[in-house]
Chain A
Amino acid sequence: MNPLLYALDVLVFIGIFGIVSLSLNLEYGFAGLANFGKVAFFLTGAYSYAALSQIGLPFYLCLICGAMISAIFGWLISLPALRLRADYLAIVALAFGEILRLIVKAERGIAGGVWGITVAPIFPYTGSELIYRLENIGLVSICLFICFLIAQLLSNSPYGRAIRAIREDEIAAEALGKDRAKYKAQIFMLASAMAGLAGGLYAQYLQFIDPYMFMPMITFTVWIMVILGGPANNWGALLGAALVELFERGTNIAKDYLALPVDPGNLQYIMFGVLIIFVLLYRPQGILKESHVKTKALELAGYGRSTAEDKRG
């Protein structure tokens, strides 16, 4: 395969999963909501895109509607989130993702059921694979940039402060006037919309989706991205997405050239496991540390200055 095309393909994937990683970082990194059903919202976006593009909506509407439908699902999952402890929420979300996938798989009418469905690409094929990928990189970059901007603005504002406080101690935050139900619902909706957007981009880029592309492993991969890059740091979420994607591709290539005594597919999972254990043992905060709230007013008060002094000192 042409190495340039391959590299561009990697970039598209990094961009798409970078969006999902940013969205999980909003939920888990900033607000402490352990969403183990991330793939459900990715799937919702992808299938919504497929269905809507079939009835002839223009692509931007398909993307936006896909994101909105995912947001509604996000709101649904926020309802148990308010009542359940983090560990139970994780199980509920995980089950939610699997249920959704199994429904899509069983119902032929939704989108080809187990056979999957072809999706019309946004950019018509002009005969050059290179151009197709470059166009997609452009589109994905724009979406990634918007999501990153939203995540940055949110986390560097009093709103970001409130959701961090809810993560740290929701009872104390509630007693200080933060309506945790509202904040959690908003974060779930916003993050799910981002995941849905990424799902739409994914579906149209690959031009085909089936239920097997939305296994729970996707959720875990995104979790590894966030934990590796550094929770509560948006740059970390992007860095994690890039590293995990490269790692995945690297091991995929390596397995073609190595004669291994074990199934290389499983070996990849084993190495993911080892990677996570190393991160949690030696750098539990991830590669990049939590980025603290920064506002103009805080900078005027000398926030940046004093931390710079700390570093020198």
Chain B
Amino acid sequence: MEEVLLKIREVSKHFGGVYAVNGVSLDVRQGGIWGLVGPNGSGKTTLFNTILGLYRPDRGDVYFNGDCITNLAPHQIYGLGLVNAFQLPRLFYQMTVLDNMLVAARGHQGDRLLNSLFFRKRWQEQEKELIEQSMNILELVELDRQVFSLAGELSGGQRKLLEVARGLMAKPKLLLLDEPAAGINPVLGEKIFMTLKNLCCNGTTFFVVEHRLEILFEFASWVYVMDKGSLIAQGYPQEIIDNPTFYEAYLGEG
């Protein structure tokens, strides 16, 4: 059995009276694509934000690679190799597409104040390599013609693509993807999932929220189902499809 990469234990998060996430425990193991599904408002995005350190959980703990990350700042969590692509893209809109990618690059020497002033030679080579990597990823999501456009000039779907591309650029161990295929044309959506599948071979793991169940179930190796803040089912995609609780969650009590 592969190692547990992400371990969530009894995590709860409420907003006022709403328990957005209520006592969720789950494991994501090294390798493959892991799915998280559930009706609108079932708490998937809230769970992701809690994992990332953007929300403090009211109760419970999150472990990544064996370390408790519940109280770490988001940039420290990034440092450990846990990265996210937001459901609603949060791009740097006054910056070019390429600059958006380069911000996400891991361990850029030029990110430091003194290096930017005095040791500029040191990171030029690295920057060149990172630009090349960015170009490859942008080509993959078919944004290679917009490299020098401002992110604010992209269409809705293109913004989503850049959000996903930026996540990939960060070379994470585990990438949380919140509806990567939403608003993307079906062919490209399929292609993105194919890409993710290929990247799994390099040791990247994906934890994906997706409403386009047909794509997700085709690629996912394990699926969790949430409803009203709680985990209600889990299993192989085929099992989930046959699971009556899964249908009840989507169709309501009626």
Contacts and interface: CB of A to CB of B under 8 A. Distances in A.
A115 interface: no
B124 A178 contact: no
A80 to B, nearest CB: 18
A154 interface: yes
Interface in A289-312: 290, 292-293, 295-298, 300-303, 306-307, 310
Contacts of A300: 128
4 residue pairs, one from A and one from B, having the closest CB atoms: A158-B110, A157-B116, A159-B116, A177-B78
B117 A158 contact: no
A186 interface: yes
B144 to A, nearest CB: 12
Given A293-B99, A298-B98, A301-B135, A171 B90 contact: yes
B135 to A, nearest CB: 7
Nearest to A295: B127
A190 B117 CA distance: 12
Nearest to A157: B116
Nearest to A162: B111
A151 B54 CA distance: 32
B199 interface: no
A270 interface: no
Nearest to B106: A177
A150 interface: yes
Contacts of B52: 175
Contacts of A157: 110, 115-117, 120, 123
B123 A158 contact: yes
Contacts of A150: 117
Given A179-B75, A301-B128, 14 more contacts: A157-B110, A157-B123, A161-B102, A162-B103, A162-B111, A165-B95, A174-B73, A175-B54, A175-B74, A178-B111, A295-B127, A297-B125, A301-B135, A306-B147
Nearest to A186: B113
A161 B95 contact: yes
A259 interface: no
Interface string B80-108: 00011010001111111011001110101
Contact of A159 (B92, B106, B115, B135): B115
A292 B99 contact: yes
A15 to B, nearest CB: 22
B9 to A, nearest CB: 22
Interface in A176-218: 176-180, 186, 190
A175 B84 contact: yes
Interface residues of B, number: 45
B68 to A, nearest CB: 19
A301 B91 CA distance: 22
A234 to B, nearest CB: 14
A190 B124 CA distance: 24
The range of chain A's interface size is 35 or more
Contacts of A106: none
Interface of B: 52, 54, 73-75, 77-79, 83-84, 86, 90-96, 98-99, 102-104, 106, 108-113, 115-117, 120, 123-125, 127-128, 131, 135, 147-148, 166, 170
Nearest to A293: B99
Interface string A271-295: 0000000000000000000101101
Which residue, of A150, A160, A171, A186, has the highest number of chain B Cβ atoms within 10 A? A171
A251 to B, nearest CB: 34
A172 B102 contact: no
Nearest to A290: B94
B75 A177 contact: yes
Contacts of B90: 169, 171-172
A153 interface: yes
Given A157-B120, A158-B111, A177-B75, A298 B131 contact: yes
Contacts of A105: none
Contacts of B110: 157-159, 295
A168 interface: yes
Contact of A160 (B78, B93, B116, B147): B116
Which residue, of A172, A174, A178, has the highest number of chain B Cβ atoms within 10 A? A172
A295 B95 contact: no
Contact of A301 (B74, B78, B98, B103): B98
